[in-house]
């Protein structure tokens, strides 16, 4: 079957993803109109994925779509925001046919329903380059309650919501170092920690999702807060497969640092006052201090984190 024309493609691929929302005008307009919601702020985050940079060129299109939505949802989770809707940019390469586009849309449909977010608008272009997709995701928080990276205070504890390093082991620099059957599908389908929204809004002084790597994302909090931080990699929670992998490594410090700087974990790193132990289930891994910079330890040993995890992909 040959591909329908551009208008028909938008109608068939993307219109169902609006689920009839009035603000999307059935995607027949070139803009959406979002009514103000008095008492709330609109939280907006944007993430782009490029084939060969952020995902494997042969990853199934529905998985790419779901990774795009979930990595953006992970940002919203860290901000304490309730997901609302998204704008989508797709740049299709010549070889990315109708069937693949349908699979891409199916992935968005599936996770759009699972996470209760709707498509609000976007733009579709063709490209001589690789597949590239970008999303602007919107969410709501009660006015003035967005959890910022910049809200940490000296003396706050540094906490993390779950295992670190599986993303790296599953892909990227860690690719091939591990029998993939050991791991959950960590890289391909991040699990945005939207379950933590209320607890974070109630207790966290600052938060970020762990996408660039734990050291980098904790560092973003320190930088934005005008503080330094101390971080002990021995306190970092690890999955069973990551612990098994770690046990096989000769250089424990280098191995821990790889896990802590690899990224794509999609857990939450946050700070909270030491007298607020309410962030139950989170693991204390360090503390915020006056000054600047990151002191990374493995137990008693101070190590050099190098540039690891500081650069965005």
Q: Which stretch binds a copy of itself (CB under 8 A): 126-134, 184-192, 197-205, 279-287?
A: 126-134
Residue from the set 99, 113, 116, 130 that interacts with a copy of itself by CB under 8 A? 130
Q: What is the 3-state secondary structure (H, E, C) of 66-125?
A: HHHHHHHHHHHHHHCCEEEEEEEEEEEECCCCHHHHHHHHHHHHHHHHHCCCEEEEEEEE
How far apart are CB 41 and a copy of itself at their closest, in Å? 4
DSSP for residue 126? E
Is 111 known as a binding-site position? no
Residue from the set 4, 114, 116, 127 that interacts with a copy of itself by CB under 8 A? 127
Residue 70 interacts with a copy of itself (CB under 8 A)? Answer: no
Residue 37 interacts with a copy of itself (CB under 8 A)? Answer: yes
Is 75 known as a binding-site position? yes
Under the phi-then-psi rule, with left for phi > 0, alpha for psi from -120 to 50, and beta for the rest, what region is 109? alpha
How far apart are CB 183 and a copy of itself at their closest, in Å? 25
CA pair distance 173, 167, nearest whole angstrom = 10
Residue from the set 146, 231, 236, 298 that interacts with a copy of itself by CB under 8 A? 146
Residue 120 interacts with a copy of itself (CB under 8 A)? Answer: yes
CA 208 to chain centre: 9
Q: Which stretch binds a copy of itself (CB under 8 A): 22-30, 166-174, 232-240, 259-267?
A: 22-30
Q: Which residues contact 6 (CB under 8 A, 6 or more apart)?
A: 124
How far apart are CB 260 and a copy of itself at their closest, in Å? 18
Residue 313 interacts with a copy of itself (CB under 8 A)? Answer: yes
Residue from the set 64, 69, 73, 78 that interacts with a copy of itself by CB under 8 A? 78
CA pair distance 126, 92, nearest whole angstrom = 5
Residue 252 interacts with a copy of itself (CB under 8 A)? Answer: no
Cα-Cα-Cα-Cα dihedral sign, residues 66, 63, 48, 23: negative
Is 203 known as a binding-site position? no
Residue 287's alpha-carbon distances to 42, 115, 168, 227, 271, in angstroms, are 30, 33, 24, 10, 8
CA pair distance 233, 215, nearest whole angstrom = 9
Phi then psi for residue 72, to 5 deg, are -70, -40
Cα–Cα nearest to 57, from 210, 182, 171, 212: 171
Judged by beta carbon, residue 1 or residue 125, the one nearer a copy of itself is 125
CB 260 within 8 A of CB 310: no
Residue 22 interacts with a copy of itself (CB under 8 A)? Answer: no
Judged by beta carbon, residue 151 or residue 249, the one nearer a copy of itself is 151
Residue from the set 13, 17, 76, 196 that interacts with a copy of itself by CB under 8 A? 76
Residue 28 interacts with a copy of itself (CB under 8 A)? Answer: yes
Residues 50-69 that bind a copy of itself (CB under 8 A): 50, 52-54
Q: Note the residue count of the chain.
A: 313
Please work out the total of residues on this chain that contact a copy of itself, with binding judged by CB under 8 A: 69
Q: Which residues contact 8 (CB under 8 A, 6 or more apart)?
A: none
224: which 2 tokens? 């934005």
Where is the binding site for Mg(2+), in residues?
30, 45, 47, 75, 123, 209, 212
Which residues sit at the interface with a copy of itself, rule CB under 8 A? 5-7, 25-26, 28-50, 52-54, 75-76, 78-79, 81, 87, 89, 91, 120-130, 132, 134, 136, 141, 143, 146, 148-150, 208-209, 220, 223-224, 307, 310-313
Give the residue ranges of the annotated binding site for ATP.
Answer: 122-123, 149, 211
């Amino acid at each position: 079957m040959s591909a329908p024309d551009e208008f028909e493609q938008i109608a068939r691929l993307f219109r169902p993803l609006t689920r009839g929302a009035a603000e999307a005008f059935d995607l027949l307009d070139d803009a959406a109109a979002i009514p103000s919601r008095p008492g709330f702020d609109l939280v907006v985050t944007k993430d782009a994925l490029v084939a060969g940079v952020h995902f494997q060129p042969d990853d199934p299109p529905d998985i790419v779509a779901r990774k795009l939505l979930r990595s953006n949802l992970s940002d919203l989770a860290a901000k304490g925001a309730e997901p609302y809707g998204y704008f989508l940019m797709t740049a299709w390469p010549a070889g990315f046919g109708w069937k693949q586009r349908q699979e891409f849309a199916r992935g968005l449909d599936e996770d759009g329903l699972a996470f209760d977010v709707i498509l609000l608008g976007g733009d579709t272009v063709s490209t001589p380059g690789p597949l590239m997709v970008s999303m602007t995701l919107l969410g709501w928080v009660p006015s003035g309650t967005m959890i910022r990276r910049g809200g940490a205070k000296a003396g706050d504890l540094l906490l993390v919501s779950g295992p670190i390093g599986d993303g790296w082991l599953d892909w990227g620099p860690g690719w091939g170092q591990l029998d993939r059957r050991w791991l959950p599908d960590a890289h391909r389908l991040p699990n945005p920690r939207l379950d933590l929204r209320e607890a974070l809004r109630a207790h966290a002084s600052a938060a970020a999702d762990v996408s660039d790597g734990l050291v980098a994302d904790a560092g973003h909090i320190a930088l934005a807060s005008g503080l330094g931080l101390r971080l002990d990699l021995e306190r970092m929670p690890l999955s069973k497969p990551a612990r098994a992998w770690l046990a096989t490594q000769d250089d424990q410090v280098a191995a821990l640092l790889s896990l802590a700087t690899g990224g794509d974990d999609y857990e939450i790193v946050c700070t909270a006052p030491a007298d607020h132990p309410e962030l139950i289930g989170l693991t204390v891994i360090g503390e915020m201090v006056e000054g600047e910079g990151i002191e990374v330890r493995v137990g008693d040993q101070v190590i050099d984190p190098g540039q690891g995890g500081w650069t965005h992909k």
